[in-house]
Amino acid sequence: MEESKSVMFPKSLHEAWKLYHDGKESSCYISGGTWLRTQWEANPEGTAKQLICVDCLPGLQTISTSSDDGETMVTIGAAATLSQCLESPVIGESFSGFITACRNIAAPAIRNQATVGGNILTAAGDTIPSLLVIDAQLHWFNGTDIESQPLSDWLRERENDGANEEERILVSVTIPVKKQEKKGTAFSFYTKVGRREAFIPSVVTVAGTGMLTIEGTLADVALAAGGGTTVPGRLPDVEALLHRARFSPELLKKVHEKIMTDYSPPPDPFAGVYYKKTVAANVIIGELYRLQEQQSDDKGGVGYAVRS
């Protein structure tokens, strides 16, 4: 017979923290429950007995903007749903890659429940690459204070210390809004590759942002890759290769080679390491090639053919 679970509805972060730590061995925070339910289906014995709902905590569902010293920040409450993000004008205007990521997760019924915080906490959610390239910061409740941490640092910690469950409560995610630059055109892309178009875990997800300057060079390029069970990460050495570079077949070849070296996803039963590396490299090169074509069209020139 299935063991019964208790579901707790704390009224504050302090209460949620206390409930979790009082019954730590058998407790688990829950938001939309859409990821947790897939874990329970796969391993009913591993289910926590006490579920502590954090999605109803005051303020955790809010999406807001603030300005400080000329810099605008968007704050997404950890319990904001993916649907809420899709409907938010400020997110739609500023973070198109993140919007594409949200739109490509599951179906509307799931997106109405699934939260941004829950997606991040899985450490492999499909929104993560899109958040990495826009320098998202996480804000945690640690039992007494709110502490901040770049998403990239937290992911690195998870990768090294994966067995330890996160004990803090994710409260919000903040993202800086980049100012419109006069010196070029901003670009952003997000691509999710799965074994079929929808309702399937991703094999590879890549995201990128940057600028094409009026001098015809690339600037401020940020790239991230993940997908499946891979803990997503930035590709700093690939970004460095592209910084201030001009498009050329040699550049794209070098970038492809560097992604093949630097991106190291684990294998899974359906896709090997080489396959995942190749998909990530080809998708990023495809996006860069598209940008180059766009640049050539703008100038009335001819694009290069790429072989990789």
Ligand X SMILES: Cc1cc2nc3c(=O)[nH]c(=O)nc-3n(C[C@H](O)[C@H](O)[C@H](O)COP(=O)(O)OP(=O)(O)OC[C@H]3O[C@@H](n4cnc5c(N)ncnc54)[C@H](O)[C@@H]3O)c2cc1C
Taking the C-alpha atoms of residue 178 and residue 188, their distance in angstroms, rounded to an integer, is 12
> What residues between 229 and 258 interact with ligand X by CB under 6 A?
none
Hey, what are 160's tokens?
A: 């090294």
Q: Applying CB under 6 A, which of residues 17, 19, 20, 35 lies at the interface with ligand X?
A: 35
Please answer whether residues 224 and 204 qualify as being in contact, where contact means their C-beta atoms are separated by less than 8 angstroms: no
> What residues between 118 and 177 interact with ligand X by CB under 6 A?
118-119, 121-122, 125-126, 166, 169-170
Q: Which is nearer to ligand X, 157 or 293 (CB)?
A: 157
Q: Which is nearer to ligand X, 17 or 187 (CB)?
A: 17
Instruction: Name the residue among 182, 171, 185, 188 with its Cα closest to residue 92.
Output: 188
Taking the complex as a whole, the smallest distance from the CB of residue 21 to ligand X amounts, in Å, to: 13
Q: Which is nearer to ligand X, 119 or 191 (CB)?
A: 119
Q: Which is nearer to ligand X, 173 or 218 (CB)?
A: 173
| 28 lines the binding site for ligand X (CB under 6 A) | yes
Chain mean position to CA 180: 23
Q: Applying CB under 6 A, which of residues 6, 26, 38, 66 lies at the interface with ligand X?
A: 38
Q: Which is nearer to ligand X, 166 or 268 (CB)?
A: 166
Taking CB atoms, the residue at the shortest distance from ligand X is: 118
Which element (helix H / strand E) includes 174? strand 169-177
Q: Which stretch binds ligand X (CB under 6 A): 117-125, 130-138, 178-186, 253-261?
A: 117-125
Taking the C-alpha atoms of residue 112 and residue 80, their distance in angstroms, rounded to an integer, is 9
| 190 lines the binding site for ligand X (CB under 6 A) | no
| 29 lines the binding site for ligand X (CB under 6 A) | yes
Instruction: Name the residue among 48, 80, 76 with its Cα closest to residue 165.
Output: 48
Instruction: Name the residue among 248, 249, 282, 245 with its Cα closest to residue 263.
Output: 282
Beta-strand runs (E) in 46-168? 50-53, 63-68, 71-77, 137-141, 146-150
Q: Applying CB under 6 A, which of residues 110, 177, 241, 245 lies at the interface with ligand X?
A: 110
Taking the C-alpha atoms of residue 50 and residue 25, their distance in angstroms, rounded to an integer, is 9
Q: Applying CB under 6 A, which of residues 50, 115, 152, 282 lies at the interface with ligand X?
A: 115
Contacts of 175 (CB under 8 A, 6+ apart): 73, 74, 76, 94, 95, 98, 131, 134, 135, 136, 137
Q: Which is nearer to ligand X, 77 or 210 (CB)?
A: 77
One character per residue 52-71, x = contact with ligand X (rule: CB under 6 A): --x-----------------
Residues that bind ligand X (CB under 6 A): 28-36, 38, 54, 78, 105-106, 110, 113-115, 117-119, 121-122, 125-126, 166, 169-170
